[in-house]
Chains A and B, each alone.
Chain A
Amino acid sequence: MTIEEKQAEIVEEFELFDDWLQKYDYLIEMGKSLPTIEEAYKTEDHLIKGCQSQVWLNAAFNGGKLDFRADSDAIITKGIISLLIRVLSDEKPQDIVGADLHFIDEIGLKDHLSPTRANGLLSMVKQMKYYALAYQSKQA
C-alpha cells in the first residue's frame, strides 16, 4: 500500500465516527496498542522534547525501507504517533521525504500538529523526514 493509499484508508476509518468522543476513544485505543519503543532507544538522543508531552523516535533501515518506532508519555499523542507510523513506516526514503501528510487535516486533528501545541508531534514528523533524507543521501 502506498503512503497515499494508507492516508485514504485512515480518512475512511475516521468517517465512521459520529463525534469527537469516538474519535478520541479510537486514538486512545491506538495509543495503548502502539508497540512500544525498546527501552534502549528511550534515551536523550531519541527524545523529542515538547513543552506538553515528550516523544521518543527511532528509525531502522531494512531492505531499502525505513521502519519507525516511537513512544510518548501522553496517550493521545501516542495515538496520533501510531497513525503517523502506519503511514510512513515500511516506505522508501524518497517517498517519505516527499510525503504530504494531508490526512491529519482531513480527520480533524490538524491542531495536534500545530507548533503551538508543543506536544513534540510536529518535531517528530520533521525528524522522520530527516531520517529519510539521511538514508536517501546514503543510498545515492
Chain B
Amino acid sequence: MARPAAPPLRERLRAVGRPLPRHDAWDKVQARTLYAADWQMPGMLHAAVARSPYPAARIRHIDTAKARALPGVAAVLLAQDVPHNTLWTDVPGQTSEVGPLRARIQVLAQEVVRFQGEPVALVAAETREIALHAVELIEVQYDPQPGVFDPEAALAAGAHQVHEGGNLLARWAIRRGDPDRALAQADVVIESVYRCQFIDHAYLEPEAGVAWIDTDGVLTIRVSTQVIEHYRDVAEVLGLPQNRVRVIGPYLGGGFGGKEDVTVEVFLGLLAWRTQRPVKMIWSRQESLLARPKRHPFILRYRTGAARDGRLVAQAVDLLADSGAYAYLSALVLMYAAVTAAGPYRVPHVAVDARVAYTNNPPTSAMRGFGAMQMVLGYESQMDRLARRLGIDPVELRERNALAKGDALPIGQPLDTHVAVVEAARRAWEALGPRRAPSTPAHRIGRGLACNIQPYGRIVWLHDWASAWVGFEMDGSLVVRTGTPDVGGGQAASLCQIAAEVLGLDPGRIAIHIADSALTPLAGTTTATRQLYMSGNAVLRACEGLRRQIVDVAAQLLETQADTVALDAGDAVAHDGRRVGLPKILRECARLGVSRSHLDVYHAPAGDPVDLERGGGRVFPDFTFGAHAVEVEVDTETGAVTVLRHVACHDVGRAINPQSVEGQIQGGAVMGLGYGLMEEVVVDHGVNLSTLFATYLIPTSLDVPDVEPILIESGEGKGPFGARGIGEPPIAPPAAAVANAVEDAVGVRITELPVTPERVARALGLLGDR
C-alpha cells in the first residue's frame, strides 16, 4: 500500500516559481498604462498649493482677494474652509506618556507654519498656469520665528516648541539582562556614534490625482497612492460618510513609502466638493522634493561588548531620530528601529533607548526599510570593527553570533521560521570571487559584508487583514478583485500567478482588478512588505474556496471523488485522465445553484500591544534575513568610492516570480547604494537645499554595478507557498557593507552617511583641515 512520496512542492508547482512576464509590463512598454497624472475629465480644473516659504512662523494675515479676482480661478481655500482641518494617524501601543497618542497633521496651516513647504492655501483654476499664477497672488503675512532644527537641540531646555506639549514625540525602551554589568565585564567594548541623513523617495512619478463627483454623488478620487483606505481620511476631513468617498488607485510610478501618507487626495476632495467639478492636481518634482516627508535621520550611539572569541555579550544602543515638523508615522518608524537595533544576532544583554523629536525640518515618515534599515549602519559597522579588533574573519564572527530558529529577539519574540543569516553571509561573501587588482597604484580594493533583519507584515497589534474575490466567467476565464495597490513591484501579477497555480489556469486567462475602494474587497496598504504576504494569502484562500466549489461539481460530472480531481489547463481531470472543460462545469454550477465565485479574508496572526521594555513578546508576524557583500575601489587621491561588485542574498521563502524577486533585490540594493554613497536632502536651518533633481542625486546607471541576486528559498515564510516579503529588506545592507569595505580598503572608518568622496578624503587626511 506504500504510495510513492509526493515530489517536493517546488516540482509540483506549475505557475508559481516561474519567471513569467508580468501582464502590466506589456501595457507599460507600450505606454498604455494611464498613471494618475494621465487621467483627463471633461470640464476639469487644475489645482495648485500655496506653501510656506518659512520653516517656522506665525501667520498674521492672509489676503486672497487678488487671487480670487484672477480670471479663470474657480476656488481658493484656506484652513478655515476645511470642515475638519486635522488628519489623525493612530499609533497603537505607544508606551510613552509624552507626546500625542495619536499623530496629528493639519490639512492646511492654521495660525502657525512648522516647516518650509507646509501647505497654506489651495487654488483650483481653468488651467494649471492660472492656478500657479493665483498661488503667487495670495498674500500671506508671516512673523518668522526662531525654530529649532536639530533633534538634540529640540530636546534641550528652553528649545523652541514646535508643538504644544514639548518636542519629545515618542520614546521606546527595550531591556534584556544587565547590559551595564555585561559591558563592564566584556573582554572588548566597541563604542561609536553613527549618523545618517534625510533622503527622498524620488520615485519617478510625482504625486498626482484627479477627483470628481461621480454620477452617483460619490466623491471619487483617482490618485497615485499606496493606501486606498485614505478614502476614510478624505471623508473625515470633509465631514462626509465614509461610503460617499471612493479612492481608485491606478498603477503607481513608484511609492517606496512616500505615497503611504496622504498626498493630494484630501486637497482634491476639498476642491472637487467645493467646485462640483473634476479637479486635477500634480505636484512638480521641485514641490515633491521640498515638501514631502523624508526618511528619518538618526544619531545612533552603540556600545557593543564581546568576549575574546567574538561572542557578543551586550549591546547598548541610544537612538535619536528627527521627526521634522509633524508626527506622521515617526513613532512606529522608531519602534521598528528599536526592535531591530541589536541586529540579527544573539545578545544576552541588551538596552535600547530610542527617542524621536519634533523639529522645524521637513517631516519624516515611511520610507522603504522604515527605521529598521537605518540600524544596519550601526550594528554592522560594530560587527566589522569587532572582527578587526579580534582578528576574526567577518563571516566567521557573524556565524558565531547569528540568530537561529527558536531564538528570541530582545523584545521576547521567538523566531519560529528559518533564519538564514549564516547561509546568506557565506553565500554572498563567496560569490565575490577572486579579489580584483586595483586599477592604478593610487587605488585600493576593499570588501565589506553586512547582514540584516527586516520585519514583513504589519505589527500584530494592528490585527491586519486582507480580502480578495475570485470568480469564473462562463467561458472559464477568471476575474480576481482585490484592493491591492500595485506600486510597481508586480503585486497584481504575482497574485495572478497564485490564482493560476491553484486553479490550474494559464495566467493569460486571468483578469485582475485592483485598488478600487468601492469595487474591490479591501486588501490594506501596499506598505510594510506586506502585500504578497497579506493579499497573496487572501487570493490563495479565495482560490482554494473557489476550487472546492468547482471540483465538487466536476467530480459529479466525472462520476468520481472530488479529492481525486485535479484542475489543469482549464479542465478538471479525473485520476484516470478523463477531462471535463470549465465551461461545462460552470454551466452545471449554474444549474445546481453552486456559486462560481468566492470571497475570502486572510487574518494575520494578531496580538495585543506588549510592553517592549519588559520583553513582552510578539510584535511582528515574521522577518526576512539577508546579507550583502560588496567589493569597492577607493581612490586614495580623491576619496571617491566605486562599487565594483555587489552580491545580495536573501531568504525569500519562496520566489512566486523569481524575476520579480530579483528585480526587487537589485532595485532595493541600488537604492541602498544611493543612500550609502550619494543621496542627501541637505537642510540648513529648516531650509531645504535639495529641491531639484539636479541637486538631489540618485544613482544613474553609471553609478552602480550590476547587482547579483542570490535567492535562498527556505519555504518557511508566512506568505503563500512559504513566501516571505522582499520589498524592503534589500535596501538595508548596502550602506554598511560599503562603509565596511572602505575601511578594508584604506583603513579609515566612515561613520556618517553618505560615504561621499569628501568624507573619505577628510578621513584620509587629504583635505588638511582636520
* Chain A partners chain B: no
Give B contacts to A, CB under 8 Å: none
